[in-house]
A and B are shown apart, each in its own frame.
Chain A
Amino acid sequence: MIEAESLSHTSLPKGWRYLPLTALGYQMKSIIFLILAMLLAPLYAGLIIKVKAFFGGRKGSPLLIHYYTLAKLLKKGSVYSTSTTALFKLGPMVSLCAAATALMFLPVAGQSPLFSFTGDVILVLYLLGLGRFFTIAAAMDTASPFEGMGAAREAYFPIICEATLFMVVILFYTLCGELNLAAYFAGDRPLALWQTAGAPLLFVIIALFIVLLTENSRVPVDDPTTHLELTMIHEVMVLDHSGPDFAFIELGAFFKLFFYSALVTRLICPFAFHHPAADALAFLVVLGLVYVAVGITESVMARYRMDKVPQFVLTSFALAFFATVITLEFLK
């Protein structure tokens, strides 16, 4: 939970008084929502497959497909490449660890997150970077040229995404003067953002959606279902992983997708009903819509040529930038 903006620090001299002192703390409710998020993440990812099947005129795999896949993978053993080192095994663990830890800072369904402190946004973004470092390291470990190719792209596109995300944080900070996820996404805080920023927040939603597609290797940046290694990013990096290791990677990917989708969801549905069950219901429904939107994007769009992708991702930065500029003109 978040402790009120700052602990009383009247004991400090005047100039220093505004240093925020939010501390880490936790609440039972936050834990329940966190577990709920972790359990539901694979289900929602299944929703995308269903939508794509609908557009393709197929019945598609069951909604629970990802649970079955995870269970199947967890039961298996593994084959390791002779080229690999311990880093190859560390990769899936660290990427899962980073994604799971990031979820702990996420205000699921607008509830206060498990942990929150001033600057946790920075920590979370860099934590996802840590996961990326180890995913890339695990890919480079196999000595496979294909995986190297995927790794190079995985290192490239998120640079622009990070710039976008920090631009969004800059906007949010200027709106509410705080630097943690809970201050932007918990309770009816998003509503306050809408009230001060207004329409430019639409730009932010689109920017975040583009970042979501890029960071989670979805069409039009990457195609998670293709079998042509040359065109892939994330999937090609995990070609050599198998068994529980691969299950960890998949689970980490579901968590990450859930994380970004939850942020978009909170901006689309900024209301707080002040009752956990009502909040959860509204959140889960809108979250479903975001996943459906990902599925629709994937069904109606083709993947961009690799050298066009940076332009697509840069659009998100431009949107976030203009949102900031417009909002500031309003404020001043």
Chain B
Amino acid sequence: MPLFFLSLILIVSGGVFPLFLWRRFVLMKTVAVLTIGAGCLLGLSDAATKLIIDGSYSTAFRYLEPFSLSFRIDALSAFFLITIFAVCLLAVLYSFNYMDQTSNALRTAVHYLFFSLLIGAMALVVSADNLITFMLSWEIMSLSSFFLVITHFEDVENRRAGYLYLVFSQVGAMFILAAFGVMFAHSGSFEFAAAAGLPETAKILVFVLAFVGFGSKAGVFPFHAWLPHAHPAAPSHISAVMSGVMIKTGIYGIIRTYTLLDWHTPVFGNIVLIAGVASGVLGVVYALGQHDLKRLLAYSSVENIGVILIGVGIGMIGAAADQPVMAVLGFAGGLLHVLNHAIFKSLLFMGAGMVLHATGTRAIDSLGGLLKRMRITGTTFLIGSLAISGLPPLSGFVSEFLIYLAGFRGLALDRGAFALCVVAIVSLAIIGGLALACFTKVVGVVFQGEPRSRAARAAHEKGPAMLAPMIVLAAACIAIGVFPGFFLPMALKAVSALGLGYDAIPLAPFVNLTGNITKAAAVIFGMFLLILALRHILYRGKTVTRAGTWGCGFTRPTARMQYTGSSYAASILEFFRPAAPLSEDHPGILGRFPQKTHYHSRIDDIAERYQGAIIVRPVLAFFDRLGWLQHGDIHLYIGYILLAIVVLLFFV
């Protein structure tokens, strides 16, 4: 039995055991965490070995005569498997302390079942080698994550979020199915390998359909509307897995489809790049406008998916223009950002989960000052924020650096590619600046300053099983940022599996590029240590006193006077008003003896707004008109069946 399947069996059995043990809460959690954890660890080591020694692996099972299940793990799959298993390992560890309500023991057990199914299904998605296997795994993944989103189903908000997610994932799956249908119609085979022989017009159709389907899973603008609803609803470690890893299966799908079609046309690159720019910029603008910590992180995922797609899109344009360096830099940057985003986004969701656990609220503007009471959470969250803002010497910088280099190489191409690369570079710069604004807002309002509510004042971090994964992830952010030379070859090997037509990608020159980042990081740290030492000397023997913050003469400051997250973001959002309309509810202060008033603001998502008006309402109206078909009369239903059989007899 190959190790890969052994690890999957371990993981799923780790999900099944709790169903029998749920009466003994701690034992159940221990068994689940240990078994799923062991499975992830095994899968991780197996995938890492496959990636390092370039061992691709394939197997096939026959199941019912026409359908065969076949699996193949190449370097691209192995790269995604590493990401999946690493994040899930830490997430399941985190769940040990996070799922601590003994009253919900059975629910926790069921949650472990679906969690393990989700991990297994994600692993199968990235290793599937034919249409049937892929679709089957994809549906298991979508459904198991749907049940995880509605873990706290008693809340009507969460049920709505779950419903929205189900609709999006099923409509997305229909698009993928349509793409696969076109593939099957032309090749007559369920095998992935047959896709390369399609005519070119069919290839474009397949790619566009698949892009819409996979894009809706990945959270590409404008198909992202489910993300900001589903992520806050799910338990935090599930949000971490969904946002960090599951949406990346959409990216995997896009890259895999591109590889299978084996046609290097700039059209694909243009589509991906434009979608990436739109998701990147709008995602971070909406993130900036959120008041809910987990919603903010969800929108930030849309942004990072955008950054990944910019990288991949530039890679595709490079491949089309036969520019190997540009293509490899673009794809490698995009793939490395997949890994990086998986790491820092799961770190940030875990941090948000800890905040939620300690204060019971996700509202950014009612938190504050948590860094003092939650040191480890605050510090790791800060590191994650620095990394996601793409600042050196942390991991986010490395992948964005590679994408920039690829984009600059594209400036030498023809006019169309030049214009797109200019757009990509400038929007990456804007995304970087906006992400910095967004995460200084989170860090500044949630973790710094004075607590804005009683809950925030009483917050304490607890649970070593929750803290340890965050520390590991924060360390990974620093490690990738300082020593990218160890991680870039992983991405490069995954790129070599893309079949771009370059037999062997020389690793040394690319690693050399990032070697400069290591040296620069050494310079930064050296300079910092020098300044630290200088500061130490300068403060020796000095009087250092503590006093209240300078209130500019005002003597009775309160915590509620602090700048809120909404006010912090207001002027930037004003600039993006056409794309991010603001709705306000503020009765104003009236009369000589004003009554208590309130102020609510919300940034509307234009995709959500127009999808509702243009797609959902007409579709609903159409089906309402067909309501007479569903009358509840069983005799007529049998008549329908008879009619269907007769019609089929004529056609088949």
Contacts and interface: CB of A to CB of B under 8 A. Distances in A.
Interface of A: 9, 12-13, 15-16, 18-19, 21, 23-24, 74, 76-85, 87, 89, 93-94, 96-98, 100-101, 104, 115, 117-120, 122-123, 125-127, 129-130, 132-133, 136-137, 139-149, 151-153, 155-156, 158-160, 162-163, 165-167, 169-170, 173-174, 177, 179, 229, 239-240, 243-245, 248, 306-307, 310, 324, 328
Shortest 5 CB-CB distances between A and B: which pairs?
Answer: A148-B563, A140-B444, A159-B433, A77-B542, A155-B437
Contact of B440 (A78, A115, A140): A140
Given A12-B506, A19-B509, A115-B523, A81 B391 contact: no
B542 A143 contact: no
A144 B440 contact: no
Contacts of A129: 389-391, 432-433, 436
Contacts of B324: 15-16
A248 B547 contact: no
Interface string B449-465: 11000000000000000
13 contacts: A80-B545, A83-B549, A96-B531, A123-B517, A137-B382, A144-B550, A151-B444, A152-B572, A158-B433, A170-B408, A229-B552, A240-B549, A248-B531
Interface in B284-333: 324-325
Nearest to B443: A137
Contacts of A145: 561-563
B49 interface: no
B436 A140 contact: no
From B404, B434, B544, residue with most partner A Cβ within 10 Å:
B404
Contacts of A324: 422
A122 B401 contact: yes
A5 to B, nearest CB: 14
B559 interface: yes
A316 to B, nearest CB: 13
A162 B562 contact: no
B567 A126 contact: no
Nearest to B439: A133
B404 A122 contact: yes
A101 B524 contact: yes
B325 A78 contact: no
Given A9-B509, A151-B440, A137 B433 contact: no
Contacts of B502: 15
B224 to A, nearest CB: 22
Interface stretch (B140-148, B259-267, B423-431): B423-431
B319 to A, nearest CB: 12
Interface in B381-425: 382, 386, 389-392, 397, 401, 404-405, 408, 411-412, 418, 422, 425
A221 to B, nearest CB: 13
Contact of B528 (A16, A74, A93, A306): A93
Q: Among the interface residues A87, A104, A166, which one has the most CB atoms of the partner chain B within 10 A?
A: A166
A127 B445 contact: no
A168 B559 CA distance: 43
Interface majority SS (helix, strand, loop, mixed), chain B: helix
Given A16-B509, A83-B449, A243-B542, A152 B567 contact: yes
B512 interface: yes
B365 to A, nearest CB: 12
B622 interface: no
Nearest to B572: A156
Given A81-B549, A119-B516, A170-B411, A155 B430 contact: no
A81 B528 CA distance: 24
Contacts of B371: 85, 87
A119 B401 CA distance: 8
Interface string B557-575: 0010111000111111011
A218 to B, nearest CB: 20
Given A120-B516, A122-B405, A159-B434, 12 more contacts: A19-B325, A19-B513, A87-B382, A115-B520, A122-B401, A140-B443, A141-B449, A143-B559, A151-B444, A155-B437, A155-B568, A179-B408
A69 to B, nearest CB: 15
A229 B391 CA distance: 29
Contacts of A179: 405, 408
Given A123-B520, A127-B524, A166-B426, A142 B547 contact: no
Contacts of B428: 166
Contacts of B6: none
B185 to A, nearest CB: 37
A205 B329 CA distance: 31
Nearest to A130: B391
B551 A144 contact: yes
A149 B571 CA distance: 10
Contact of B433 (A118, A162, A173): A162
A79 B544 CA distance: 6
A16 B516 CA distance: 19
Interface residues of B, number: 82
B284 to A, nearest CB: 10
A100 B569 CA distance: 30
Contacts of B404: 119, 122
Contacts of A78: 539, 542, 544-545
B545 A153 contact: no
A326 to B, nearest CB: 14
Contact of B429 (A118, A166, A243): A166
Contacts of A307: 571, 574
A248 B513 CA distance: 32
Given A85-B448, A143-B449, A123 B542 contact: no
B449 A142 contact: yes
Q: Max chain A CB contacts within 10 Å: which of B448, B513, B547, B551?
A: B448
Contacts of A98: 524
B533 to A, nearest CB: 11
B562 A148 contact: yes
Given A143-B562, A159-B572, A117 B545 contact: no
A24 B521 CA distance: 12
A82 B547 contact: yes
Contacts of A19: 325, 509-510, 513
Contacts of A173: 408, 411
Nearest to B405: A119
A82 B425 contact: no
A148 B552 CA distance: 13
Contact of B401 (A89, A123, A144): A123
A140 B510 CA distance: 39
Contacts of A144: 549-551, 562
A137 B443 CA distance: 7
A117 B538 CA distance: 34
A119 B513 contact: yes
Interface string B159-183: 0000000000000000000000000
B598 interface: no
Contacts of A9: 509
B357 interface: no
Given A130-B386, A143-B449, A81 B546 contact: yes
Given A83-B369, A159-B433, A170-B411, A126 B392 contact: yes
B509 A156 contact: no
Nearest to B450: A143
B405 to A, nearest CB: 6
A17 to B, nearest CB: 9
Nearest to A82: B546
